[in-house]
Amino acid sequence: MLYSNPVSRDQSVDVYKIFIVLHDRTVRYVRFTNIIEDFAHNRYNPLTDQWVLVSPHRLQRPWSGQNETESDVEVAEHDPNNPLCPGVRRGNGEMNPIYSSTFTFDNDFPALRETYESKNNDLLLQLNQNIPNYELDKHEDPLFRLNIARGKCRVMCFHPKSNISLPLMSKSEIVTVIDEWILEYNRLASHWKWVQIFENKGAIMGCSNPHPHCQIWASDYLPNEARTEDRTQRDYYQKYGRPMLLDYVEREIKLKDRIVDLNDHWITLIPFWAFWPFETMIIPRRHIKRIAELTDKERESLATIMKQLLIRYDNLFKVSFPYSMGWHGAPTAELHMNEDYSHWQLHASYYPPLLRSATIKKFMVGYELLAQVQRDLTAEKAAEYLREMPLVHYKENNYFHISSSLDGNVNGNGGGGGGGGVSSDGRYHDGTNGEIPNDGQSRTKRLTIKNQTSED
Give me the active site residues, please.
Answer: 213
Burial of 309 (0-12, 13-18, 19+ CB in 10 A): buried
Run of H or E including 422: strand 421-422
Distance CA 99, CA 90 (A): 14
Say which residues have a Cβ less than 8 Å from residue 335's Cβ, sequence separation at least 6: 189, 190, 191, 192, 193
CB contact at 8 A, 147 and 134: yes
How would you write 178-206 as a 3-class SS string? HHHHHHHHHHHHCCCCEEEEEEEECHHHC
Amino acid present at 173: E
Of 56, 4, 143, 5, which is closest to residue 376 (Cα–Cα)?
56
User: Domain spans of the chain?
Assistant: 2-60
Of 411, 386, 407, which is closest to residue 450 (Cα–Cα)?
407
Distance CA 68, CA 90 (A): 30
* pLDDT by position in tens, the chain (length 456): 232 333 333 333 333 343 433 344 444 544 554 557 778 999 999 999 999 999 987 766 654 445 555 556 788 899 999 999 999 999 899 999 999 999 999 999 999 999 887 766 666 666 666 555 555 555 677 888 888 899 999 999 999 999 999 999 999 999 999 999 999 999 999 999 999 999 999 877 777 788 999 999 999 999 999 999 999 999 999 999 999 999 999 999 999 999 999 999 999 999 999 999 999 999 999 999 999 999 999 999 999 999 999 999 999 999 999 899 999 999 997 666 678 999 999 999 999 988 777 777 787 889 999 999 999 899 999 999 999 999 999 998 754 444 445 544 333 333 334 444 333 333 333 333 334 444 443 333 333 333 333 333
Distance CA 195, CA 445 (A): 42
Distance CA 337, CA 354 (A): 42
Distance CA 122, CA 284 (A): 47
Q: In this structure, what are the phi and psi dihedrals at residue 356, rounded to the nearest 5 degrees?
A: -135, 0
